[in-house]
Each structure stands twice: as C-alpha cells, then as structure tokens.
Amino acid sequence: MFAILIAGIALWVGAHFFKRLAPDMRANMGNAGKGVVAVGILAGLVLMIWGYRGAEFIHVWAPPTFMVHINNLLMLIAVFLYGMSATTGRLRGKMRHPQLTAVKVWAVAHLLVNGDLASILLFGSMLVWAGAEVAMINRAEEWKRPAPGDKKKDVLLVVITLVVFAIMTAIHAWLGVWPFPG
C-alpha cells in the first residue's frame, strides 16, 4: 500500500506542477488540458487516501497527548485560511496564498499527532509540495492585492469555518478517528 500512497502523492504533485513545469505543453492542450489535470489531481487524491488507509502501521515516534489540542486549534485555523481564498470580505487580500497556507497548517497539524511512517510520508509531502507551489507561483507572477470588501462577509467566514470544522470532526469520528482527547 505504500507504493499506492507514493504513486498518489507523485500524481498529485505532478498534476499540480504540470502548468508551471511544462507551460508550452499545457497551453497546446487547450481546454482539454484542464480536464487532464483535474483527472490527475482526483486520481492522485484517491490513490493517496487508498494507500494511506491501507498502509501498514510502522511506528516512528510517539506524539505527546497534548499535541491533539494543538492539532485541533491548527485545524480550525487551516479551515479558516482555506475559506479566506473565497471570501469577499475585509480579509480578502490579506494573504497571497490562503489555500496553500491552509494546506501547510493542515500538514503540520497532522504531523504533530501522527507518528507513523505513512502519515509522515503523506503529510510531510503535502507540506513540501505546498511550500514548493508557493515558491513557484511567487517566482512566476506578481501579486495584485484585491481591494477589501464588506466586513459582514468576514463574520460569515467565521460561521462557515465553524460549520465546516464540525463536519470534518464528524467525518473523522465516522472513520474511527476521534479528534478530541477524552
């Protein structure tokens, strides 16, 4: 299953980097290229989940119990940051890469509470990928900061963050991973 996990990671990273590493090839594909990339990303995600869920547990380190609290706080922050990318509120434009920053926070949060090899491979690779993606984007394009919007939209973002966090918690519980110490 480690091979499936690694193949998924490679496909995810390759599909995301395709536009930046082979811009001419991607441009020549036209709109079909978007579909190819989308299929590659989706296939990579499926393989990562399948490989991670089926991977043998190989203990590397034992995270301290209190890290669960830090993980939960970081996950709440990650959900908020991810949502910032779609907000039209005052927070719009405060951060250049809110989605990729959210992925980095998500990865660090999970590395703090998972000490097995499959987790280190999955979350560590996503942390490295998101950092590399930010670096590639920053080098390729100048950022034009959007104008801030209505502050009521930021309140909506907080509400949506709490709802999405509750849904994610329920999904983790349904999968047998209770995210709160008890």
pLDDT digits (tens, 9 = 90+) for 48-91: 999 999 999 999 999 998 999 999 999 999 999 999 988 888 88
66 shares a domain with 36: no
Which residue, 134, 136, 138, 156, is CA-closest to 86? 156
Residue ending a domain, among 27, 56, 85, is: 56
Cβ atoms 11, 47 nearer than 8 A: yes
Which residues on adjacent β-strands are paired with residue 153? none
Residue ending a domain, among 38, 56, 74, is: 56
- Grade residue 182 by pLDDT with cuts at 50, 70 and 90: low
| Predicted local distance difference test score (pLDDT) of residue 77 | 96
The burial class, CB within 10 Å (0-12 / 13-18 / 19+), for 6 is middle
pLDDT digits (tens, 9 = 90+) for 115-138: 999 999 999 999 999 999 999 999
126 shares a domain with 46: no
Residue ending a domain, among 56, 82, 103, is: 56
* Distance in angstroms (rounded) separating the CA atoms of residues 2 and 11: 14
For residue 46, the one-letter residue type is V
98 shares a domain with 74: yes
23 shares a domain with 10: yes
pLDDT digits (tens, 9 = 90+) for 133-181: 999 999 988 888 888 888 899 999 999 999 999 999 999 889 888 888 7
Q: What is the mean pLDDT of the chain?
A: 92
What Å distances lie between residue 17 and 58, 81, 108, CA to CA? 30, 22, 22
Look at the chain and report how many structural domains it folds into.
2
Residue 173: give the domain boundaries: 57-182
Cβ atoms 167, 115 nearer than 8 A: no
